[in-house]
Amino acid sequence: MTNTTLPHVRHGGGTVRPYLFGSPALRDFVRTVFEATEIEAVETGNGGTHVEMRIDDAVVVLEVGGSFPPGTERTRSSVYVYVRDVDAAYARAMAAGATSIGAPEDKPYGERGAGVKDPFGNTWWIATHRGEAPAKAPSVIPPGLALYQMSIGHYASRALELAAKLGVADLLADGPRDAVDLAAAIGAHGPSLQRVLRLLTSVGIFTEDAQGRFGLEPLGELLREGVPGSMRASVMLFAGPRIQDSWRDLEYCVRTGEPAFRRTDPDADPFTAMAKDPEAAAIFDKAMATFAPMTSAAVAAAYDFSSFGTIADVGGGNGALLLGILRFNPTLRGILFDQPHVVERAHPQIADAGMTDRIQVVGGSFFGDVTPGADAYLLKHVIHDWNDEDATKILTRCRAAMPAHGRLLIVEGVYPAHVDRSMESRGAAANDVNMLVCTGGRQRSKAEFEALFAASGLRLTRIVPTMAPFCVIEGELENR
């Protein structure tokens, strides 16, 4: 696909546009059911069409038709949209061949919602627009109460992680069950489990009926294993003990400027402990794979890879992102480069995708000799794990491997020039402090990326926004 720059896309830590693949029939379904209007339709290099459609004040992106490689057409999405009239949209969806997964009903938080599965396998959660919900008297939270609620945020996050770990959502896949039944299935104390589930009901994860049975809200559906858009592994990673325990040492990090793990092991790096813990590594891989389809689709839609013959994914983990990019670029070849024990986990995925002949797997360290032979070197969420000194070393090693015509591509969020209360600012600032605590790295602004590139013998050429909360930051050899 040619470069598609979307200047109106908010990036740096905000919400992500729904992204779907399908036939022209999916395009017609979205247009008819949600009375969507097309913002733009751009012909792509693979014979398809990149379509942006507006549903009320939200935007949905469709890749329609085209010769996508095998497997891409099976990608399914779970989408939450606000509409003016839930009942009318639900009726149109059913008439268009959708299957009901939740008839329209009033929700306790003042909205009316429904759920359908379209004929193409995508799940749509439909709700009244916030501005159309029944009028309520404005509620003013006293400042003290607001601070109190912020201070107990870990109550819900820890309960969420436990529910994900115990697989509660999967046990509710076939319908509501009471706490005693659930506790027997997972080996827990029924009354205590009930109390935790009620806490999660209060924040919109589960429902509880008059008989005391718990069911799934749309958010709770995403705690199930293997469903489209599943966030189970991500919840277990970010709300789990490894990251939560690191945050206990926030004061140490602020006083010393060092990440939490350095308090007990001054010579460790961010990933030493994980290498010794196969269970933690598996959760990390799954969490990263959760975002890989969206990441590869966003990168492929925004950045033109057609001038490259081979791209190296440096620090590419289990290869999920590289596989996704190669699916969108059938003539492109790849090199997966990471530590030997990490890339070892990639072989089954590469084989399952039928790409063993297109991807060369190389074990090594990006602090050592990065493998040559690629036209572009990609680092996705790698540089933000490291301080400026180590980041410069990594980029310098990549520069040494690059040919004269080569490009360096960093896929990360760009720290906003001004921090406010927007989702972009909140996401960037939260991720930045998490890097301080967990890895010793940081989120960087445009100026900081320019300085980092210059220190590594590179020149930042452009920053390409994507539909996701990150950009493609492109560089070339400084003396080119």
User: Of the candidates 344, 383, 387, 350, which has an alpha carbon nearest to the alpha carbon of residue 366?
Assistant: 383
d(CA 36, CA 49): 17
Q: Which of 11, 50, 381, 384 is catalytic?
A: 384
Neighbouring C-alpha atoms within 13 Å toward the C-beta of 124: 30
How many other C-beta atoms lie within 10 A of the C-beta of residue 297? 24
Which token pair is 101? 């997964």
Which token pair is 243? 């990251």
Strands 407-412 and 376-380: parallel
Task: Describe the chain by its helix, strand, coil percentages, rounded to 5.
Answer: 40, 20, 35
DSSP codes of every residue in 29-50: HHHHHS--EEEEEEE-TTSEEE
* Residue at token pair 């992204």: 19
CA distances from 78 to 121, 228, 239, 263 (A): 9, 6, 22, 41
User: Of the candidates 15, 67, 76, 56, which has an alpha carbon nearest to the alpha carbon of residue 422?
Assistant: 15
Q: Are 368 and 392 in contact (CB under 8 A)?
A: no
How many other C-beta atoms lie within 10 A of the C-beta of residue 33? 25
384 is catalytic: yes
Which token pair is 172? 């509710």
Q: Are 345 and 324 in contact (CB under 8 A)?
A: no
Q: Are 60 and 53 in contact (CB under 8 A)?
A: yes
Report the sign of the C-alpha dihedral through residues 310, 49, 297, 442, in that order: positive
Q: Are 136 and 110 in contact (CB under 8 A)?
A: yes
- 71: phi > 0 → left, psi -120 to 50 → alpha, else beta; which? left
Which residues, in sequence order, are CB contacts of 216 under 8 Å at separation 6+? 169, 172, 173, 206, 207, 224
d(CA 77, CA 86): 20
Please tell me the total number of residues recorded for the chain in this structure: 480
Neighbouring C-alpha atoms within 13 Å toward the C-beta of 469: 18
At residue 181, the 3 state secondary structure works out as helix
**Active site residue ranges:** 384
